[in-house]
A and B are shown apart, each in its own frame.
Chain A
Amino acid sequence: MRTLIQLIKENIIHREQMWNLAKAFQKKRYKGSDFGAMWAFVKPTMYIVVFYVAISIGFKSSKNIPGLICPYFVWLAIGMIAFFYMRDMILNGASCFRRYPALVSKAKYPVSTLPTTVCTSYMLVHFGMLAIGFAVSIIFGCFPSVYWLQIPFYMLLMYIMSFFWSICTGLISVVFRDFYNFLQVVNQAVFWLSGILFDINRLDPSMQKVFLFNPISYIVEGYRNAVCRHIWFWEEPEKLGYFMLVLLFMAVLALIMYKKLMKRIPDVI
């Protein structure tokens, strides 16, 4: 608990440094290209369109998703937008310390803010993508409702989860370099096993339970429930409970690792 309080405290004290570095992080990604940050939105949008064409037109498997109050395209787009953030965080969260070796070992910089920096940096892109998602939703006749107010709740859960994930994997990948390669492989599997492209609710109940333990599925479903199904998060307390359990486990693991490894990071990076 003391470690968590210390982490939060350091992040609050150095929030300005964290925020400036987060902005610079995104700026750096597209520095030198004429269209700049536009690529951060064009690439994922193209992904969504390609998957829609492949699944809906190619495989013709987009029909009969129960409870949908909007077209399949909106359902796919909203879920994928949430997924893109988590996909980016799986790899970039894991490199949050490795990306800044000079700040970790050669400068008096608040290193505990680096996981937050990466999480916040990709959140900036997520806000933009979400605006596109909402626009698409409205264009397709699915107008804003009170249920949309749940999005910040799911966003917060996603941010917290990414934060603990970044601490955990960021520390491991400094000490154990193969871990990053391992995550690159896992990242592919996560995409197909998170219910991004198919409706989890149509699966066998026992399989649904397996998916419940994948926190990414819960967030993706949460976004879709808010926009495309109009279901409140408290209407599915079991799913929320499972997610919280996984989140608690991640938090405990991240804090133990932080306490154990953080002081060794400047020695080995």
Chain B
Amino acid sequence: MGNKVIQVNNVTKKFNLYKKDLQKIFCVLFGKKPPEVLVALEDVSFEIAKGERVALLGLMGSGRSTLISISAGIMYPSKGTVKVHGRTNAMISVKAGLEKDFSCRENVYLKGNVVGLPKEVIDEHIDEILEFAELEDYADLPLKRAPKSASSMISIAVHVLMDCDLLIIDNAIKGGGKYSKEKCEEKLKKYIEDHPDMAVFVVATQGKFVREICSRGIVLEQGKVTFDGPFTDAVKLHRELLNKIDKGQTETDKED
């Protein structure tokens, strides 16, 4: 094991595609072959050590979210193994566990429950969370009446209370304006700085934030790891991919 926090070994993820639900249940229960298979990840391997900050880059449909979900232990690989040594803090969906009809205060507790924090911890930090989310005046109003940024602010403020060995981030900062986004990023940065031993695995959608914290990048292309090395080189490769697509698009437009 050494100082590895996560070891992803030869992970392949296939999604079985069915035209009808009846076909799906029949194939699943009786072990029949599905009519179509989508390979989302193919033979993916990498490791992340203690304190390492790794960005995951890739185009839409390259398998980023699938890889993140598998690394977080939410989805299961079709082949291969994922070993996590320690506790995972997965910031994948801002809204998971929140209820728009419940008050902002109640939502803080709900989010804490989903994350797995004891009620006492939330009791201790509730004022601080509401203050960070600037929801003091909305505390007892339904979440749907609060500003749009409330969900992500609550979500991040609760997640950062958790002590963990591996932090996984995908779509953690969503909704709201530039101000709230920057505030959330600052909170996350502070959390990461305060936990130097914590490994971070983040999908590179938040450009500036990822640039500031990551030193290593993994590039995914059609479900395969095509690069794993310094973050700046990974970004270069990712840009080349984007340019290629832009060029291809322009040529297709010309032909049309």
Contacts and interface: CB of A to CB of B under 8 A. Distances in A.
A235 interface: no
For the residues of A in contact with B, the DSSP-based class is: helix
B241 interface: no
A208 to B, nearest CB: 34
Interface string A170-214: 001001111000000000000000000000000000000000000
B118 interface: yes
A109 interface: yes
A102 B74 contact: no
A172 B93 contact: no
B101 A32 contact: yes
Contacts, number: 81
A105 interface: yes
Contact of A28 (B69, B95, B99): B99
* Most chain A beta carbons < 10 A, residue from B72, B88, B114: B114
A108 B93 CA distance: 10
Interface residues of B, number: 32
A38 interface: no
A228 to B, nearest CB: 41
Contact of A261 (B28, B74, B106, B113): B28
A158 to B, nearest CB: 26
Interface of B: 15-16, 21-22, 24-25, 28-29, 69, 72-76, 88, 90, 92-93, 95-97, 99, 101-102, 106, 109-110, 113-114, 116, 118-119
16 contacts: A14-B116, A16-B118, A20-B113, A24-B99, A28-B99, A28-B101, A103-B114, A105-B69, A106-B74, A107-B114, A108-B92, A108-B116, A176-B25, A178-B21, A260-B28, A267-B75
